[in-house]
Amino acid sequence: MTTLTGRMLVVDDNEMNRDILSQRLERQGHTVATAQNGREALDRLRAESFDLMLLDVMMPELDGYQTLEWMKADGALRHVPVIMISALDDIDSVVRCIELGAEDYLPKPFNPVLLQARIGAVLEKKRLRDQEQAYLLQIEAEKKRSDELLRVILPDLAVAELKATNTVKPRLCQNVAVLFGDIVGFTAYCEQREPEDVIGHLQQMVEIFEEIALYNGLEKIKTIGDSFMTTAGLLKPLENPVLNCVKGGLEMVAVAPTLPPKWRLRVGIHVGPVVAGVIGRRQYLFDVWGDTVNTAARIESVGIPNAVNVSGDAWRQISGLCYAESCGMVQIRGKSGEMELFRVDGIIST
């Protein structure tokens, strides 16, 4: 059986006692430091790391009882185990030391075999406690990391509900603006480039779009290939969700041609009710569904390139706040009849 060794602090006001005990401990393989009173011991404990302290009871300045009380009241020191060693061999002293937090108590003159056994038991207990604390810290770190990963892919409200109930119930949200942005001619661009270059440029663009979305109070929902989808007014109330989407969309349209591929972006925006939630139990994705989402996607697909295209419903919410031009009546797949679309050219300054 392997004998555990550690770093010891021997505290005794008698120099001879300190030397005898230190030498015995060093022969057992321990590393030993000494202190001649409680104050000096506390200073050393705060400055250095120890596995165990062997503490005399009767000392000047700060006796063993007081030293033990100070240690257990200090969050940084209370974890250091203490074995009391004293010429006092009465039950009241033993009880008092144990009540104050000592791991064990040995009378002077001590039996060296018993001392070695007691030290071994305390070190083993500390080793197990340290191991437990390391496991707890590891679990906490992994829990924190999983929470951070969840918050990357899910909104905070969804994370809280998922952790509490193991599910995120779909909910109907009114007056939500939905924006789709899509690169014009992306397929042809990919055919003439290496995949690594395409992904690198796409990553750069998406990161910029994420910053634009965040600045304008939009919630990024997902990317689908070269398509970027955001909402406004879904997770937090906004005075005019359509206006937030238009501001973000105009910035996206303006920045796309400045990137190395000189892309052109086509943006479509619609507003109305949506259903939001999480479906499935693996590879979670917070998503939105409904006619509003489908219509926004189809407006983007038939809209004018390098522009922000909005539905008539969306335009009515920003007509006094933006410059726009009617694109006329357009047939939208899945909708009966034609729908008037508008190209938004800018925001009216106030």
For residue 296, give the CATH number of its domain: 3.30.70.1230
- Residue 279 pLDDT class (50, 70, 90 cuts): confident
Residues 105 and 230 in one domain: no
Paired with 231 in beta bridges are 178, 219
Nearest to 304 by CA among 331, 265, 256: 265
Report how far residue 67's alpha carbon sits from residue 212's, in angstroms, rounded to the nearest whole number: 59
pLDDT, mean of residues 105-134:
84
Q: Do 230 and 328 lie in a common domain?
A: yes
Residue 244 and residue 120 in one domain: no
Instruction: Give the residue-averaged pLDDT of 188-199.
Output: 88
* Structural tokens at position 79: 């974890």
7: which strand partners? 31
- Closest residue by Cα to residue 318 from 254, 206, 264, 240: 240
Q: Name the band, by pLDDT with cuts 50, 70 and 90, for residue 2.
A: low
Radius of gyration of the CA atoms of the chain, in A? 35
Classify residue 279: in a domain, yes or no.
yes
**What integer pLDDT is reported at residue 179 of this predicted model?**
97
Domain assignment present for residue 146? The answer is no
Question: Could you tell me if residue 330 is inside a domain?
Answer: yes
Higher pLDDT, 168 or 218: 218
In a domain, 128, yes or no: yes
Q: Is residue 111 part of a domain?
A: yes
My answer on whether 284 and 202 are in the same domain is yes
Residue 294 pLDDT exceeds 60: yes
Residue 8 pairs in a beta bridge with: 32, 52
Residue with tokens 């938004």: 344
Regarding whether 165 and 131 lie in a shared domain, the answer is no
168 shares a domain with 128: no
- At 1, the pLDDT band (50, 70, 90 cuts) reads very low
Where residue 61 falls among pLDDT bands split at 50, 70, 90?
Answer: confident
* Residue % of the chain over a pLDDT of 90: 48
Which residues, other chains included, contact 66 with Cβ-Cβ below 8 Å and sequence gap of 6+?
A: 38
Kindly report the number of other CB atoms within 10 A of residue 110's CB atom.
18
Q: Looking at the 3D structure of the chain, how many domains does it have?
A: 2
Contact assessment for residue 112 and residue 27, using Cβ atoms and an 8 Å cutoff:
no
pLDDT above 70 (res 153) = no
Give Cα separations from 199 to 185, 264, 344 (angstroms).
15, 17, 30
Is 258 found in the same domain as 302? yes
Q: Identify whether residues 170 and 276 lie together within a single domain.
A: yes
Domain end call among 105, 136, 167? 136
- Among residues 161, 177, 178, which one has the least CA distance to residue 169? 161
Q: Domain span at residue 22?
A: 7-136
Q: What is the CATH number of the domain that holds 123?
A: 3.40.50.2300
- Is the model more confident about 309 or about 235? 309
Question: Is residue 167 domain-shared with residue 305, that is, in the same domain?
Answer: yes
For the cut 60, the answer to whether the pLDDT of residue 117 exceeds it is yes
> pLDDT tens-digit profile of 72-103?
899 889 889 999 888 776 778 888 888 888 88
- d(CA 123, CA 5) in angstroms, rounded, equals 8
What pLDDT sits at residue 152? 62
Q: Are residues 13 and 68 in the same domain?
A: yes
- Section 196-201 average pLDDT: 91
Cβ contacts of 90 within 8 Å, gap of 6 or more: none
pLDDT averaged over every residue in the chain:
88
Statement to judge: residues 100 and 163 lie in one domain? no
Give the Cα separation of 234 and 336 in Å (integer): 27
Q: Identify the pLDDT of residue 205.
A: 94
Residue 150 maps to a domain: no
Pair type for strands 265-278 and 307-311: parallel
Do residue 123 and residue 217 come from a single domain? no
Asked whether residue 142 is domain-assigned, the answer is no
Sorting pLDDT into bands at 50, 70 and 90, what band is 70?
A: very high
Select the more confidently predicted residue: 308 or 110.
Answer: 308
27: in domain: yes
Average pLDDT over residues 162-180: 85
